[in-house]
Chain A
């Protein structure tokens, strides 16, 4: 069993935290894992992505082949679209819908959403609004992790929750609880959409 995931966003949006939680959960389950990250110049507000590969068998390539990702998870709608060449024909896109506009030629958001909805399996949710509603505006990434968790067949949700506890433990119990709430809200959202 294997699952290849592209995590996408803009530098500073917290996609590496999603990857870290999934990584902790994968280790907990004894899975093989490879995770390619982007460091350096692109982190300055540019597009960033992480290739995350989980498998019960040894993994060779650090990069996911184009057409091979079962999931694209993006904090931002245009960034989700950027990686569609990596999406498997039956793959899912889980994305936040709030555009992050830090470039002058950002396309019309309606066009972006229309292009996204041409793909067969899309879960689009307002992760930012949900996180704000929970008084945890920085928890949008955990909302998204929750939303993707139901499509993440290879991992048990309880291991993901354990991953959140472990990764955020040093920031205190309140942060852990807030992020678990964000995770649950995202998971509930996915069920509604799907």
Chain B
């Protein structure tokens, strides 16, 4: 099974009562697996998609408060959206086991940055689990729920693309645990984070964090092994351990600290440094452990890793990057072919976003000052040829709010393009701002009735987009709905032109079902 599926099954077998999540590559398959698993129906496990990562995190925290085991899943940037309740959950602590699976995407296969979720763990003073194999992902998820309840703290489960989206055999199914029954926390004060309570809790959390580090040093998932050649010591975090061992099929000659549970266990690192004067740190993502080590080790210890160039500073690790860092000769290989052309992803043939961009481009030919603010989803591909329609794309929901700021600064027309799922994820509050500001912006909601980019999950506002816009205060006559099809180009262009010419907030809902989900629905019939 996939690493994502191993996390899902581990959670179900740990007596899960609910998963709360927003889709995002590479995390989506965790929730999808739970949705389809028979145990979910049998035990009435909550498994519908949340509107965004923040609401997901909060609902899961509520479930933990009520004594039950909850799982939260999102991609790494989703943790930014959920950061407020995430940080708060370290202050409340967990009652029922609470595990947050955050899936990082080093090399940015399907993301806008490379941020490393482990920093959030240290930031919140929360334990972090980082499995090195699919089998460990299953075992560690189960262990994470137990640990969360034992220490009264949520656990951050850090995954990366190759762990999430790679398959391996996972032995499973022993001692499937019952679900928790409803029970409330003993310490009620901790759940009301007024300063008078939070100060007390903060001091306790600092004490607990030292205990978490003790636990990490004793964890079966962290392993310090000696080697016959002490000229080099290696710290291998998460799946970096695999890239290390790949190069030593007969066993690694150097002492190795395999690291899968944090806070960073300084005790084990000091032990390693008592054997070796040169330490190579291999970690997927940003050089977090490498930076920490500088404060742990005395001078005279050489630290190698992503910061000194022994490993690439960015991008995901690979067996050959590990090989080079270990000073082993490169494998013989053929050079890359110069005949090959890049084949970037593109909007599907027949996709409604295509027809929308065609019409929008036609209208904007007459408005040389126009700027189009994009958002996160399939439609971001409208930046690429042949459309070249977008000027910006930053994060979920930024289209309309950026258009608003630019409009105030003199941009006209200021057009925002957002998908239906991204709109309900974090575009609605921005629309309220725009209405209150009487901003001169045109919001185009390219509604394909699904969360398309991640494979067609339910979208939170389906069927209610116009009603939501009206409720937020957009005048009814400036909420226009069009169907993006070539035969409708004249009508579409007329509507877009009229709403650009209206100097206030207008919304154009451009609605046609995603071609991928349409095919799937047709096949089912």
**Residue of A43, A65, A67, A86 ringed by the most chain B CB atoms within 10 A:** A65
Give the shortest distance, in Å, between A42 (CB) and chain B (any CB).
Answer: 5
**What 0/1 readout, one digit per residue, does chain A (168-186) give for beta carbons within 8 Å of chain B?**
0000000000000000000
CB contacts (< 8 Å) of A89 on chain B: these are 332-334
The reply to whether the CB of A82 lies closer than 8 angstroms to some CB of chain B is yes
Task: Say yes or no: A103 contacts B341, CB within 8 Å.
Answer: yes
Which residues of B in the span 324-346 have a Cβ within 8 Å of any Cβ on A? 330-337, 339-346
Task: Say yes or no: A10 contacts B343, CB within 8 Å.
Answer: yes
Task: Say yes or no: B26 contacts A40, CB within 8 Å.
Answer: yes
Task: Say yes or no: A41 contacts B166, CB within 8 Å.
Answer: no
Give the shortest distance, in Å, between A121 (CB) and chain B (any CB).
Answer: 12
Task: Say yes or no: B453 contacts A41, CB within 8 Å.
Answer: yes
Give the shortest distance, in Å, between B109 (CB) and chain A (any CB).
Answer: 6
Complex formed: what's the CA distance from A129 to B165 in Å?
32
Which residues of A in the span 94-142 have a Cβ within 8 Å of any Cβ on B? 102-107, 111-112, 115, 119
Which of B48-56, B315-323, B390-398, B483-491 forms contacts with chain A? Answer: B315-323
User: Which one, A61, A64, A67, A106, contacts B341 given CB within 8 A?
Assistant: A106
Task: Say yes or no: B25 contacts A67, CB within 8 Å.
Answer: no
Task: Say yes or no: B344 contacts A67, CB within 8 Å.
Answer: no
B333 closest partner in A (C-beta): A67
Task: Say yes or no: A84 contacts B109, CB within 8 Å.
Answer: no
CB contacts (< 8 Å) of A62 on chain B: these are 162-163, 166, 168, 239, 242
Give the shortest distance, in Å, between B29 (CB) and chain A (any CB).
Answer: 7
The reply to whether the CB of A14 lies closer than 8 angstroms to some CB of chain B is no
Task: Say yes or no: A40 contacts B453, CB within 8 Å.
Answer: yes
Task: Say yes or no: A23 contacts B339, CB within 8 Å.
Answer: no
Give the shortest distance, in Å, between A119 (CB) and chain B (any CB).
Answer: 7
Given A39-B110, A65-B319, A66-B331, A44-B167 contact (CB < 8 Å): no
CB contacts (< 8 Å) of A81 on chain B: these are 337, 339-340
CB contacts (< 8 Å) of A79 on chain B: these are 343
Given A40-B453, A66-B320, A78-B162 contact (CB < 8 Å): no
Give the shortest distance, in Å, between B226 (CB) and chain A (any CB).
Answer: 20
User: Which one, A44, A61, A85, contacts B381 given CB within 8 A?
Assistant: A44
**What 0/1 readout, one digit per residue, does chain A (31-48) give for beta carbons within 8 Å of chain B?**
011111111111111110
Task: Say yes or no: B25 contacts A41, CB within 8 Å.
Answer: yes
Complex formed: what's the CA distance from A104 to B342 in Å?
10
Task: Say yes or no: A44 contacts B339, CB within 8 Å.
Answer: no
User: Which one, B29, B239, B242, B347, contacts A44 given CB within 8 A?
Assistant: B347
CB contacts (< 8 Å) of A87 on chain B: these are 333-334
Complex formed: what's the CA distance from A144 to B110 in Å?
28
Task: Say yes or no: B339 contacts A112, CB within 8 Å.
Answer: yes
Given A40-B25, A60-B242, A107-B168 contact (CB < 8 Å): no
CB contacts (< 8 Å) of A66 on chain B: these are 318, 320, 331, 333
Task: Say yes or no: A78 contacts B340, CB within 8 Å.
Answer: yes
The reply to whether the CB of A191 lies closer than 8 angstroms to some CB of chain B is no
CB contacts (< 8 Å) of A104 on chain B: these are 385
Which residues of A in the span 66-93 have a Cβ within 8 Å of any Cβ on B? 66-68, 78-79, 81-82, 84-87, 89
The reply to whether the CB of A11 lies closer than 8 angstroms to some CB of chain B is yes
Task: Say yes or no: A37 contacts B246, CB within 8 Å.
Answer: no
Task: Say yes or no: A36 contacts B378, CB within 8 Å.
Answer: no
Task: Say yes or no: A115 contacts B343, CB within 8 Å.
Answer: no
Task: Say yes or no: B165 contacts A39, CB within 8 Å.
Answer: yes
Task: Say yes or no: B110 contacts A34, CB within 8 Å.
Answer: no
The reply to whether the CB of B348 lies closer than 8 angstroms to some CB of chain A is yes
**What 0/1 readout, one digit per residue, does chain B (215-230) give for beta carbons within 8 Å of chain A?**
0000000000000000
Task: Say yes or no: A111 contacts B167, CB within 8 Å.
Answer: no
CB contacts (< 8 Å) of A85 on chain B: these are 333-336
CB contacts (< 8 Å) of A68 on chain B: these are 319, 331
User: Which one, B110, B331, B339, B343, contacts A103 given CB within 8 A?
Assistant: B343
Task: Say yes or no: A65 contacts B331, CB within 8 Å.
Answer: yes
Task: Say yes or no: B165 contacts A38, CB within 8 Å.
Answer: yes
Task: Say yes or no: B169 contacts A27, CB within 8 Å.
Answer: yes
Task: Say yes or no: B318 contacts A41, CB within 8 Å.
Answer: no
User: Which one, B25, B246, B345, B455, contacts A46 given CB within 8 A?
Assistant: B345
Task: Say yes or no: A107 contacts B339, CB within 8 Å.
Answer: yes
Give the shortest distance, in Å, between A154 (CB) and chain B (any CB).
Answer: 16
Complex formed: what's the CA distance from A33 to B170 in Å?
11
The reply to whether the CB of B454 lies closer than 8 angstroms to some CB of chain A is yes
CB contacts (< 8 Å) of A36 on chain B: these are 162, 165-167
Give the shortest distance, in Å, between B33 (CB) and chain A (any CB).
Answer: 13
What are 19 A-B residue pairs whose CB atoms fall within 8 Å in the complex? Answer: A34-B166, A39-B25, A39-B26, A41-B110, A44-B378, A44-B381, A45-B348, A57-B249, A60-B241, A60-B246, A61-B245, A62-B242, A63-B162, A66-B331, A68-B331, A79-B343, A85-B336, A89-B334, A103-B344
Supply 10 further A-B pairs (C-beta < 8 A) apart from A86-B333, A111-B339.
A23-B167, A37-B167, A40-B110, A41-B25, A41-B345, A42-B110, A61-B319, A64-B319, A65-B323, A66-B331
Top 6 closest pairs, chain A to chain B, by CB = A67-B333, A40-B110, A40-B25, A67-B331, A46-B345, A61-B246
